[in-house]
Amino acid sequence: MVDELTDVLISKHHPMDKLLRQDRLPHIWCSGCGLGTVLTCFVSALEKLDLDMDQVVVVSGIGCTGRAAGYLNLDGFHTTHGRAIPFATGLKLGNPELKVVVISGDGDLMAIGGNHFIHAARRNMDLTVICVNNFNYGMTSGQLAPTTPTNARTSTSPYGNAEHPFNVPYLAAATGATYVARWTVLHVRRLERSIIEAMNKRGFSVVEVISPCPTYYGRWNKMGSALEQMKYYHDKSTIRHWSDPAQADIGLEGQIIVGRFVDIDKPTFCDLLQGADQ
């Protein structure tokens, strides 16, 4: 054994560090969790966006994903469980010049926060929502989420889930989102591109990212190593741009349809408000 890493240059800083809170790294996420990669893609997207980073705000709820706001060197708000979207709504309306991005988990956004999600979509509130779907509540150690596939096991569905899961893109589209995409965490380039598109969109834009939670969901469902899980989701996905999001259900097995599903133009809440006030 050697004491050295072959051919590697040892660094202290990463090129993306200026957008990161280095003093908080490494983050709390498990080895093999998809969340770090989502963050990498987000930062990479930020670097490509023509925005004043002082005007970009990230709002998270509570959950493993919800920690995202805490690692970004942007104005960041780690709110309460489920309330990222209404908090973000207040931020946006309080200062419409801000670019407000919500990054949170499937439980946070779809379970306790579901109502805010559909109402913000309905209003076409000018926000970007990145929903990391790991099919369970990671932070509280792997319980049932409203995205957990039927029959999947979790710590609170030990005999198999008796519920039908939400199809996030369909829910977003059906309630009014103007941009909707889904990728798995291994689709790094496409994911980055969708984040850029979503943030450039005026209106309620939603990017769902399918991401493994090897520590809980993967273990409960005997999905092998973290790496295997990531690969599994990637391999199961079929890119079908502009396909009907109603068809994009995710089961315990079977394919995962990914792609850009919706990209339409519609007046935002602020647009209509301005019209009404005059």
Partner 1 sequence: MKLWRKPLDQDRVVVPRGEIHLIVERCKGCQLCATYCPRDVLEMSSLFNTRGYHPPQVRNARRCLVCGLCTMLCPEFAIYVEEVGHDQ
Partner 2 sequence: MSRHEIRFSGFGGQGIITAGYILGKAASLFDQRHVTLIKSYGPESRGGASSAQVIISDEEIDYPRLTQPKLLVAMSQEAYAKYIGELASGGLLLIDEDLVEPCHPRDDIQVRAVPATRIAESELGRKIVANIVMLGFVAANADVASVEGIREAALSSIPKGTEELNSQALAKGYEYGNQLQSTMHKV
Partner 3 sequence: MGRRRVSNNGILQGSFFMDGDTACAEGAICAGCRFFGGYPITPATEIAERMARRLPQVGGTYIQMEDEIASISAVLGASWAGTRAMTATSGPGFSLMMENLGLGIITETPCVLVNVQRGGPSTGMPTLVGQGDMMQARWGSHGPYETIALSPGSPQELFDLTIRAFNLAEKYRTPVLVMTDEAVGHMTERVVIPPLEEIEYYARRKPQVPPNGYLPYRPDPDGVPPMACAGEGYRIHVTGLTHNEKGYPDTVSVETQQKLVERLIRKIRANQDDIIELREDQVEEADVVVVAYGISARTAARPVRMAREMGLKVGLLKLVTVWPFAEERIRELAPKVEGFVVPEINMGQIAQEVERCAGGQAQTILVPHAGGGLHHPNDVLEAIKRVTSPQSTSAETSP
Ligand X SMILES: Cc1ncc(C[n+]2csc(CCOP(=O)(O)OP(=O)(O)O)c2C)c(N)n1
CA atoms within 13 A on the CB side of 16: 16
Q: Which is nearer to ligand SF4, 64 or 131 (CB)?
A: 64
Q: In the range 37-66, which residues lie near partner 3 by CB under 8 A?
A: 54-55, 57, 59, 62
94 interface partner picked from partner 3, partner 1, a copy of itself, none, CB below 5 to 8 A per type: partner 3
- Quick one: which of 30, 112, 223, 252 contacts ligand SF4 (CB under 6 A)? 30
Report the distance separating Cα 14 and Cα 69, nearest Å.
Answer: 19
CB of 20 to partner 1, least distance (A): 6
Q: Which amino acid is at 221?
A: N
Residue 223 Cβ, how far from partner 1 at the closest point, in Å?
15
- The answer to whether 135 contacts ligand SF4 (rule: CB under 6 A) is no
**Nearest approach, Cβ of residue 114 and ligand SF4 (Å):** 19
Instruction: Report what 213 binds from partner 1, ligand SF4, partner 3, none; CB cut-off 5-8 Å by kind.
Output: ligand SF4
CB closer to a copy of itself out of 37 and 148: 148
Given candidates 115, 141, 225, 238, which one binds a copy of itself under the rule CB under 8 A? 115
Nearest-angstrom CA–CA distance, 19 and 223: 34
Binding range to Mg ion, per CB under 5 A, among 100-108, 110-118, 121-129, 204-212: 100-108
Query: Is position 173 an interface residue for ligand SF4 (rule: CB under 6 A)?
Result: no
Separation in Å, CA 271 to CA 87, 136, 155:
20, 36, 45
Distance CA 226, CA 33 (A): 7
Single residue of 61, 76, 107, 138 touching ligand SF4 by CB under 6 A = 138
- Select from ligand SF4, ligand X, Mg ion, none the partner in contact with residue 62, using the beta carbon and a kind-dependent cut-off of 5 to 8 Å: ligand X
**What sign for the dihedral angle of Cα 14, 18, 19, 25?**
positive
Closest alpha carbon to 135 in 99, 162, 107: 107
Q: What DSSP line would sit under 38-81, residue for residue?
A: HHHHHHHHHHHS---GGGEEEEE-SSTGGGGGGTBSSEEEE-ST
Instruction: Measure the CA dihedral 130/54/17/39, to 10°.
Output: 0
Least Cβ distance, residue 223 to partner 2 (angstroms): 16
In 3D space, the residue among 210, 221, 212 whose CA is nearest the CA of residue 257 turns out to be 210
The token pair at 169 is 């893109």
From the list 39, 130, 213, 262, which residue makes contact with ligand SF4 (rule: CB under 6 A)? 213
Q: Which residues bind ligand SF4 (CB under 6 A)?
A: 29-30, 33, 35, 64, 134, 138, 213-216
